[in-house]
Structure 1
């Protein structure tokens, strides 16, 4: 059972310090990575525009979500071992390897170098993958924090220098992350803390997480993963039509149910969690309204994480970080840190 008093309990919060501290330092990690990449970023403006861009590694799909609407050349987020057969010296291979290096990723880097492709790689400078990436066509963005999102944002700034994607200001994104850390701090009480309030809304439920835009949808999948890990329960991130099917099939609420005696996992009702990054496109607003209507019709709680100001990346980082804080507080309220 969820105990909301633990959200203000110093011992319980102290046990969750590692997770909370990691979230709180997100802005500082981004500033560190961006500051360390100052020299290689200057090299980007002298490169010629590639024929195509291929992104691999962690956060490659985030890079795709940012570049696809604006990239003037074909873009591929490549999930498989190696590279497409057509990749050659006219193409740019973007490798995200700031945190996890697999044999498949090493093989992909080796293949890019062998074919003479331009290579933009974000990784620690003293690492085996950096050794494999050495060539006259390689630009290395040095990383030191093992934070894939920070490395991806710096990579987006580099790709903007090549006129391949939108402008990204890592300093402003870091400030947005700092604001989330302030708002969701463990020292802010439940009444004023959006992440603690969200954790209480998800306390005894199966979360259904929706984000309408491409970036919000990616954030919804990340938040759902964190909620599953925090609670050991099902948490589903899906498109609006799929979630509406689940909402419409939910069993009616029992007004006489005792939350202490009847808290059986199979009987938990869903809660709809909407990550709203303020995207104004009519199809997204229409889907938003349909989900709310379906939830209200079936007496299902709706929780909203909303941020509508700033750049696309600032809004993405804000809704994502708020959801991740809520996952930590959900684990705190369930006593999962006390049990470990």
Structure 2
């Protein structure tokens, strides 16, 4: 759950739809009824204490599944994996670092496990991992705090998002996974909401927001006959406007989705809705994922700082992760 759920979505996207067996994420307690002894269960937890992950591991052990666990050493997950005789892949833990910062530390062991099972294409081998690391290092250099705003793509994107309601649309499973991670990071690091969608479904399910109160209606607000041209505007704030953020992956987009993405840009422009297009970079899925995930990781931090927030602690997450146990007789 939480950051680990984003890792599961990303793992399925890296494996791809042409995998001979389904790779599916499960973010709840226990396991779906169809999971059996012929299946492999990868239990992932950045804290090693997730009750949902622990329950999934225990259920997988009861059903005779092959189990791989990814998490911190000397954690409840590690101990239960040992009891279940599961393969445990330890993740280094840095004191004081939130688990959402362990995205790559959790994803890469899971990728290695899937590769060992023969489910990854050759293009996603060790060279792809190295290329993703180089891509992240390049982003770290360009997005470092000392960089001028016009040099840092993360600072530019943070300024674009500030004051808007981002509508994040992916065009492939890979960019949808990046959008999912981006929305989580914006919420955690900046306390900032975002709407999520994936083309082609989003074109029908979410297109209405372009004509809604944050889209064309807000663009036309205040321009009617009742508007007082001479009113005092000093204390007025800029209205929150929609911003369409398209996460593109031209190397893998279906032609119909490409046409939909282009139509979305046109429709947004006709409604005075701002558009940001971001393209995944690199030949492998891992590198393309890194190019978008890394960008939004930095963007979310800069947006939080711009809003006067400390990106590290999330008090609400602590409150919701350990809800009080109902008293006896309470329903």
TM-score with structure 2 setting the length: 0.75
Mark the runs of 5 or more structure 1 residues left unpaired by the alignment: 1-56
**SS across alignment from 1:178:** helix
- The residue aligned with 2:148 is 189
- Kept in 1, the 8 Å contact 2:281–2:291? The answer is no
- Kept in 2, the 8 Å contact 1:113–1:135? The answer is no
> For residues 138 and 258 of structure 1, do their structure 2 counterparts lie closer, same or farther at Cα, with a shift above 3 Å needed?
farther
- Kept in 2, the 8 Å contact 1:195–1:325? The answer is yes
- Kept in 2, the 8 Å contact 1:119–1:139? The answer is yes
Residues 181-190 or 240-249, more deviating: 240-249
Matching of residue 119 in structure 1 with residue 67 in structure 2? yes
Question: How far off its partner does 1:136 sit?
Answer: 7.8
**SS across alignment from 1:271:** strand
Say which of 256, 263, 277 aligns to 2:237. Answer: 263
* d(CA) in 2 for partners of 1:258, 1:62: 50
Question: How far off its partner does 1:337 sit?
Answer: 4.2
Say which of 324, 329, 340 aligns to 2:297. Answer: 324
* d(CA) in 2 for partners of 1:150, 1:102: 17
* d(CA) in 2 for partners of 1:84, 1:143: 26
Say which of 273, 281, 299 aligns to 2:245. Answer: 273
- Kept in 2, the 8 Å contact 1:273–1:304? The answer is yes
Matching of residue 202 in structure 1 with residue 161 in structure 2? yes
- Kept in 1, the 8 Å contact 2:70–2:91? The answer is yes
- The residue aligned with 1:140 is 88
What do residues 37-92 of structure 1 show as CA deviations (whole Å, max 9, x unaligned)? xxxxxxxxxxxxxxxxxxxx532222222335133234432333222445443321
Say which of 207, 226, 234 aligns to 1:244. Answer: 207
* d(CA) in 1 for partners of 2:306, 2:25: 38
Say which of 303, 306, 309 aligns to 1:333. Answer: 306
Say which of 272, 280, 290 aligns to 1:299. Answer: 272
- Kept in 1, the 8 Å contact 2:44–2:53? The answer is no
Question: How far off its partner does 1:299 sit?
Answer: 1.4
What do residues 10-63 of structure 1 show as CA deviations (whole Å, max 9, x unaligned)? xxxxxxxxxxxxxxxxxxxxxxxxxxxxxxxxxxxxxxxxxxxxxxx5322222
* d(CA) in 1 for partners of 2:144, 2:236: 32
**SS across alignment from 1:291:** helix
What do residues 183-226 of structure 1 show as CA deviations (whole Å, max 9, x unaligned)? 21111101111111111212222221111111211222322333
Matching of residue 217 in structure 1 with residue 213 in structure 2? no
- Kept in 2, the 8 Å contact 1:61–1:77? The answer is yes
- Kept in 2, the 8 Å contact 1:274–1:304? The answer is yes
- Kept in 2, the 8 Å contact 1:70–1:164? The answer is no
TM-score with structure 1 setting the length: 0.73
- The residue aligned with 1:315 is 288
- The residue aligned with 2:30 is 82
Question: How far off its partner does 1:258 sit?
Answer: 9.5
Mark the runs of 5 or more structure 2 residues left unpaired by the alignment: 94-98, 224-228, 314-331
Tell me the matched-pair count.
281
- Kept in 1, the 8 Å contact 2:281–2:287? The answer is no
> For residues 327 and 295 of structure 1, do their structure 2 counterparts lie closer, same or farther at Cα, with a shift above 3 Å needed?
same
